[in-house]
Structure 1
Amino acid sequence: MRHYYLLTGCFLLIHQFVLAQTPTGKLRGTALTADGKPAMAATILLKDTRYGASSEADGSYSLEVPEGRYTLVVQRLGLESQTLPVRVRGGETVTVQPLLLKEASRQLDDVVVTGQYEPQSLRQSVYQIRTIDRERIQLRGATNLISVLNNELGIRFSNDLVLGTSDIQLMGMSGRNVKILLDGVPMVDRGDTRESLNQIDINTIERVEIVEGPMSVSYGTDALAGIINIITKKPGQERLSVTARLQEETASTEYRPLTGQGVHNQNLGVTWQRKGWNAYVGGTHNGFGGWRGLSTTRAKDWHPKEQLLGNVKLGYRNEAFTIWYRLDALNETIDAMGPANINTNQARDQNYITGRLTHQLQSDWKASEQWQINAILSYTDYSRRTQTTNIDLNTGRRTLSLGAGEQDLSLFDTKIFRATAQYRVSNAVSFQPGVDINLDAASGARILGSPSINDYAVFVSSELKPTSTITLRPGLRFIKNSVYDAPPVIPSLNAKVVLHKNTDLRFAYARGFRSPALRELYFNFFDASHSIKGNPDLKAEYSNSFNGSLTWRSITTPTLRLTSTLTGFYNDFHNLIDYGYDPASPGVMMTININRFKTTGGTLNNTLNAKNFQFTLGFSHVGRYNSLNENDRELPAFVWSPEVNSNLTYHLQKIDTKVSFFYKYTGRRPIYETLMNSEGTATIHLAETAAYHWADFTVNKSLTKYLTLNTGVKNLFNVTRLNNTSGDVGGSHSTGGAVPLSYGRSYFLGLNFQWSQQ
């Protein structure tokens, strides 16, 4: 605990700095389009500062800033930006003349923060980062993050209909190797899946940043395949705003308004800002009535689910200092109804109840032009309860089931302290030393004992610019793990070379290390459909990874922009953790180490921006290592799976309506497996999960200055299950049989409300 007292003390010392504030003044103005109409949602920035805002529905904006001279920048996607020098005096209000933004279909550079020394444009980053902004999330009518990510190349999801959970796969790697961050803070999960992706309030997300490849130097364990960092919305300047959302969606042909069958989303949020202080409080209800599917009993193929999510945030900021506290709360209940016994007319039901409280305290301090300090203190309390009851369908009377493991509570808690300092020696040399402490503990009936794992790390990286066209980012991480002997040092090297003013080359090498998680070591899970146990003898995972990308902006005119990015990767893993049969009990699966595993592949992404028109087209080909190749060289070393995706958005300006089409083709996924025939002879079998097409069509229409309508169709091809020819159909963690994907084609209608007052 001394680390937390020390950090708290640091925050108190820094707070004294805040008290010495300079006089402030106000800056007001209006952004207009070329035809004199309000330019809603334009970005308002003061160049080379942290101050910014967004214009309202009437085009107006307001900022409160320390007195001084600034360069005002006003910009919006599809419009030319405008700059204007301004001077602000303490206690006065400066009214800026209305600024007209001319039409221009050019793509603004995204600003990214994951792995950066400070927020910077995507083009300047040495990492190849994909971003999903708030507009695309809104256009998709998404009620959870998975429905947004499922259109991305190299990302796949798998579903466990028994538990009602989902897992992610990135670059051919399972979710246990993907680190999920919420504003830079790791999310906690009970099992080896990344179910936390489904437990984040979609209404609070500003953007999502996806970094492929190991980030073990900067972010430590669980980051072998990559990072998905969810960035939440930040408040604007001195405003009271109210946002609300109501969206209704069918589950295939099943629907009942507001409750019961179908998908139901309601959200309400209030933001307040004054003199640097800001506060936010919001809540979301997600309801899913389940989907019967092929079931002919009271049990449903997809379980009903209820989520209550709450968010509270309180912060303070000025030009040099930012501090904020955030609380995220989740209560989720999944109802797994069992079939009725035809003799007794009784049934066995299970409720899976998840509770999560995540506390974050974060601070940034720009001590000088050379020094900047960032700190994060986080505590997550996570619980997963299984409640089993027997119901008499004649009387409706319920009683608790007393079977082994049918009343269960698993508890996990994680404490995190992370601090970094950025020191700029010159424009060509910068350093980032940091410390990263993770303390994990677990307990419960399904947990072997009350284990804990503590991970302490010190890391340092440097950004070097020997020339104006070359950027290098070497890094080292030194780890002390309470359970595993980590390598003496984990290295990485990233580089970016500007080959031409419109062409950038990036390449990287990284050494990965991941110690087994508590859930893999000590978590045992046995029920009617699962027989899985942890393995306390697991070894740590290691990897060597190579990544490269080439970005070419072939067309960069004021009215047209075409960007193409070609990427490639190769990952070589040792002691990868996966599932295998327990030698002492063949009917039980357990976590094991695989001696060798590899993934390789590449992607090609193309983005076209024209007048009122945005179009993307991407291809990927991912190969996963075939371990049977080691014994039979006639078999291929890799099995490959292709993907194609495309997004199209057209803005009908005269009626202020956006029409969007999202498409992805996911190719078949082959795998070689060894099967035993009736004579006890092993044979090699090529199995595969079938390919499928997915498409969504949406319409987004502004009804009034405060109200927007969103409607459309999801899963146009009505895909529900994928054929799977695997011969493994008898195991407790079987990969055989049809693979569940979705509850079919659905239709949705939503209203979004946003009101604010300066």
Structure 2
Amino acid sequence: MKKIYALSILLAGMLPAFAQTDTTQALGEVVVTGQYAPQPLRSSVYKVRTINAEYIRMRGATDIVGVLNSELGIRFATDNTLGESDTRILGLGGARVKILIDGVPLADRDATKQSLTQIDINTIEKIEIVEGPMSVIYGTDALAGVINIITRKAVKGRDNLSISVRVQEESIADTYSPFSGNGIHNENITINWNNAHWKASAYVTRNNFGGYTDTAAFPAKVFKPKDQWMGGVGLGYRFRQFNAWYRVDYLNEELFAASPMNLNTGLSFRQYYITNRYTHQLQTDWTISPKWKLNTAASLQDYKRNTESYTKNYVTGQQVRNDNPANIAAGYWDITKFQTFFFRAAGVWEASPKISVQPGFDIKYDKTSGQRVSGTPSITDYSFFLSSEIKPVSWVNIRPGVRFSKNAVYDAPPVIPSINTKFRLSKTLDLRASYARGFRAPILRELYFNFFDANHSIQGNPDLKAETSNSYMLSISCNTFSVGGVRITSSLSGFYNDYRDFIDLYGFRDANNNEIFSYFNRDRYRTIGGIFDNTITWRNLTANVGVSYIGYYNKFQEDKSLAGERSRFAWSPEVNANVLYAFPQLKGSVGLYYKFTGKIPVYNLNADDEIVLSERDAFHWADLTLSKDLFKYFRLQAGVRNLFDVTRLNSTQGGSSGAHSGGAVTNYAYGRSYFAGIVFQWNKSTK
């Protein structure tokens, strides 16, 4: 039975999506996030959403944002000045979303998740998303949900050498230059080798984005040029019931920002944001006995971001460094460093077929320094967690859990409880219900970081308290049933999140009447909503179709003198349809990825201290991709992104709502673009 189950895991990872359906329906797609051991998706007590290798490949994306942007309940907002993305799940984003790579949390210097665009898409096998708090297992930040990025692993027990080469070119709106400059340019080479005991891998990737503008004067660009180099190596060993794996990933990224050239003087202010990031991981898993298993994970992350500023004279061609004391004090010339050490150990004890217990502990140490940071602050967090799975009868699974934390800087909640339940009501019907207490620690940037330039006026607040939340989720899943040859899997979910000491950004006036933004604890914030998701398969067609409706809390509701009769929640809908059709005889496939994002509502105070509902326009987004296997080793890919040619979105803003300068228009995207690429894949058995 174990051999059959292992074979199903292998096949599920290797077969394309249209051929994978039968396998996953028979034995269940395997998930690992939050689990005691890999298990079929249907057996998980958590509601886990998976994005498999074929879906990732068909998207033709150059980063993870390009894979997730058509998923229900997930939204992105980009800071065009800093090139960072804010990731939102079920109405919450920033530091409330936990990003993991192979189960290890990734360090981000800010509440936004720049790490999502700093992971090589070519190394990813699968993405798993768990919605709702996972604080008991993963600690701080896991309030809104967890995105676990799972990298490719060697095939167990097979001697094999593989080489993959990818080259992809993409236009930006109506601009394009081959391999550099205007457009997006992606090249990757990956090598994997493994035998019965050892496995090794190495990769190098270049991502180049030439930037784009359709309004700004030369040489400024609304979407900033960015150049990335990524590389990494890994080495693994397995012997009997013991596995160990080490990998190190390196990123060098340069983002270029410039002000418009002054036509009278010929001068332009230019800034370079240069990031160097090392991520080390060492993981082990050991089956000590049939009843005991032990997993450990250690990570050291070193993140350094340089800010270099110059004045360019386009008349003389000279470029002068802006590194005098006044400019250094203003942050125009700066090196900011972030270091994170993380260690986790978790054991699993199968006390009986009906009871399993998972004890564990983790340690996290964060440190930062830089011109914009007050001193050299650090935060250390110690946690112990305990959970269990109780199966009193075959159709019931109850998973209670608790986490105890001690933090060196802030008063962490002493106890974080959760309980997740799953009831198999019939052969095709499952019910999941959960309650979780969540918490989020203030991050170093919110506590100590000061950032002042032409677009930002942000000041840290060292007196912040940790956020806490009470979250409830209920879902019912109807597993595959057939109607006239059409197979359908449906899921209906509802959630409610209630947050205390919610950390938010507020503006105030200093002694010189300058508007400055800082972080403060707000008494309360809430989100509520539902998701209806369906997977439909018919012959060679697979479609995911769904709708979500999410309510955002009116933060002035607690002050009745201000809120008056205004609604407690402002609502925003989403609709998506991701369709993949395969042509087996042609060895090709076509994919259409569509999402409608409704108006994004926020209650704000305007200049007259009146509450107004600010909204950003609704919009439609769609991507079309084509894939064709050619000869034995090659695959061609092409497609169109942003079919509806989305560029700017109008916003009704009744008052200041953020730390960035802006107006009534948001530069969301650069319009319709086209891409084409080729992938070379060579495999050889070395035995």
The alignment status of 1:748 with 2:681, answered yes or no, reads no
The residue type equivalent to 1:385 in the other structure is N
1:396 maps onto 2:317 in alignment: yes
> Is 1:702 the counterpart of 2:659 in the alignment?
no
Amino acid aligned to 2:88:
Q
Distance 1:731 1:414, change over 3 A: closer
Pick closer, same or farther for the CA change 1:417–1:151 going to 2, 3 Å: same
* Structure (1 or 2) with the larger CA radius of gyration: 1
- Matched-pair contact (CA < 8 Å) for 2:216–2:260: no
* CA deviation after TM superposition for structure 1 residue 574, in Å: 0.5
1:126 maps to which of 37, 42, 45: 45
Residue 13 of structure 1 aligns with which residue? none
**SS state at 1:662 partner:** strand
* Residue in 1 that maps onto 2:431: 505
Question: In the TM superposition, what are the counterparts of 1:143-182 in structure 2 within 5 Å?
Answer: 143-182=62-101
Q: Secondary structure at 1:629's aligned position in 2? A: coil
Partner residue, 2:391: 465
Is 1:588 paired with 2:478? Answer: no
- Which stretch of the first structure deviates more once superposed, 738-747 or 301-310? 738-747
Unaligned residue ranges in structure 1 (runs of 5+): 1-43, 57-73, 82-102
The whole-number CA distance in structure 2 between the counterparts of 1:480 and 1:608 is: 47
How far apart, in 1, do the equivalents of 2:394 and 2:414 lie? Answer: 34
Q: State the match for 1:341 in structure 2.
A: 262
1:611 aligns with 2:560: no
The 1:119/1:610 distance shift into structure 2, 3 A limit, reads same
Q: Does the C-alpha gap of structure 1 residues 667 and 107 become closer, same or farther in structure 2, counting only changes over 3 Å?
A: farther
Q: Per-residue displacement from partner, 1:184-207 (whole Å, max 9, x unpaired)?
A: 111111222111111110000001
Shift in CA distance, 716/627, structure 1 to aligned 2, threshold 3 Å: same
Matched residue, 2:574: 643
Structure-2 residue corresponding to 1:47: 4
* Number of residue pairs aligned between Structure 1 and Structure 2: 673
Q: Identity of aligned pairs, percent?
A: 48
Question: 1 CA distance for matches of 2:10 and 2:500?
Answer: 48
Q: Which residue of 1 aligns with 2:128?
A: 209
The answer to whether the Cα contact below 8 Å between 1:727 and 1:736 also exists between their aligned partners in 2 is no
CA distance in 1 between counterparts of 2:291 and 2:663 reads 58
Render the CA deviation track for 1:376-401: whole Å, top value 9, x for unaligned. Answer: 01100001111001112133222211
- In structure 1, the partner of 2:226 is 305
- 1:470-503 Cα offsets, whole Å, 9 max, x none, are 0000001011111122222110000000011100
Whether 1:711 aligns to 2:638 is yes
Q: Which residue of 2 aligns with 1:683?
A: 610
- Equivalent runs, 1:159-558 vs 2, <5 Å: 159-236=78-155, 237-402=158-323, 403=327, 404-553=330-479, 555-556=481-482
Deviation for aligned residue 1:273: 1.0
Structure 1, residues 251-302: CA drift from partner, whole Å, max 9, x if none?
0111001111000000001111123101001010000000122223211111
1:732 CA displacement:
4.5
Query: Per-residue deviation at 1:106?
Result: 5.4
Listed as ranges, the matches of 1:618-637 within 5 Å are 618-630=546-558, 631=560, 632-637=563-568
C-alpha distance in 1 between matches for 2:580 and 2:77: 28
In structure 2, the residue corresponding to 1:695 is in which secondary structure?
Answer: strand
Alpha-carbon contact 1:298-1:339 (below 8 Å) kept: yes
- Once the two structures are TM-superposed, the CA of residue 75 in structure 1 deviates from its matched residue by 7.4
| Contact residue 290 and residue 304 of structure 1 kept, 8 A | yes
State the AA in 2 paired with 1:173: L
Q: Residue 106 of structure 1 contacts residue 559 of structure 1 at CA under 8 Å; is this kept in 2?
A: no
**Cα 1:438–1:697, aligned 2, differ >3 Å: closer, same or farther?**
same
d(CA) in 2 for partners of 1:367 and 1:624?
48
1:495-549 deviation digits (Å, cap 9, x = unpaired): 0000111000001000112221111100111111100011001111010000111
Q: Deviations over 1:591-627 (max 9, x none)?
A: 1111100000000001111211101110000001102
In the alignment, the residues of structure 2 paired with residue 737 and residue 232 of structure 1 have an alpha-carbon distance, to the nearest angstrom, of 41
Match of 1:693 in 2: 620
- Aligned-partner residue type, residue 689 of structure 1: R
Q: Using the alignment, how far apart are the partners of 1:310 and 1:243 within structure 2?
A: 14
The amino acid across from 1:264 in the alignment is H
Q: Secondary structure at the match of 1:367?
A: strand
Query: Which amino acid in structure 2 is aligned with residue 627 of structure 1?
Result: K
> Structure 1 315/473 Cα, relative in aligned 2: closer, same or farther at 3 Å?
same
Q: Secondary structure at the match of 1:147?
A: helix
Q: Which moved more, 1:103-112 or 1:208-217?
A: 103-112
Structure 1 residue 687, shift from structure 2 partner? 1.9
Asked if structure 1 preserves the Cα contact closer than 8 Å seen for 2:613 and 2:654, the reply is no
Task: Note if contact 2:471-2:495 (Cα within 8 Å) is conserved in structure 1.
Answer: yes
SS of structure 1 residue aligned to 2:446: helix
Provide the rounded CA distance (Å) in 1 between the counterparts of 2:430 and 2:633: 41
Q: Structure 2 vs 1, CA of residues 734 and 549 (structure 1 numbering), >3 Å: closer, same or farther? A: farther
- Any idea what SS the aligned residue of 1:750 has? strand
Post-superposition offset of 1:683: 2.3
Q: Which residue is 1:720 aligned to?
A: 647
Distance across 1 between alignment mates of 2:6 and 2:239: 10
Q: Name the amino acid aligned to 1:595.
A: D
Offset at 1:583? 5.5
1:105–1:560 contact (8 Å) kept in structure 2: no
Aligned to 1:565: 491
* CA distance in structure 2 between the partners assigned to 1:274 and 1:413 by the alignment: 35
Name which of 591, 604, 609 aligns with 1:660. Answer: 591
The answer as to whether partners of 1:728 and 1:734 remain within 8 angstroms in 2 is: no
Measure how far apart 1:163 and its partner are: 1.6
> Using the alignment, how far apart are the partners of 2:629 and 2:646 within structure 1?
31
**665, 670, 677: which one aligns with 2:601:** 670
Structure 2: how far apart are the matches of 1:53 and 1:731? 47
Work out the CA distance in 1 between the residues paired with 2:677 and 2:598: 32
Is contact 2:208–2:228 with CA below 8 Å preserved after alignment? yes
Residues 211, 162 of structure 1: alpha-carbon distance in 2 compared, 3 angstrom cutoff: same
TM-score computed with the length of structure 2 as normaliser: 0.95
CA–CA distance in structure 2, aligned partners of residues 143 and 646 of structure 1: 21
1:588 and 1:731 in contact (8 A); partners too: no
Amino acid at match of 2:667: P
Separation in structure 2 between the aligned mates of residue 53 and residue 130 of structure 1, nearest angstrom: 19
User: Secondary structure of 1:474's partner?
Assistant: strand
* Structure 2 unaligned regions, length at least 5: none
Rounded Cα–Cα distance in structure 2 between residues aligned with 1:107 and 1:501: 12
Would you say the 8 A contact 2:607–2:655 is kept in 1? no
Give the partner amino acid of 2:258: M
CA distance in 2, matches of 1:55, 1:735: 47
Give the Cα–Cα distance (whole angstroms) in 2 for the partners of residues 104 and 310 of structure 1: 34
- 2:366 aligned partner, one-letter code: D
Give the distance between the partners of 1:711 and 1:348, measured in 2 at CA.
38
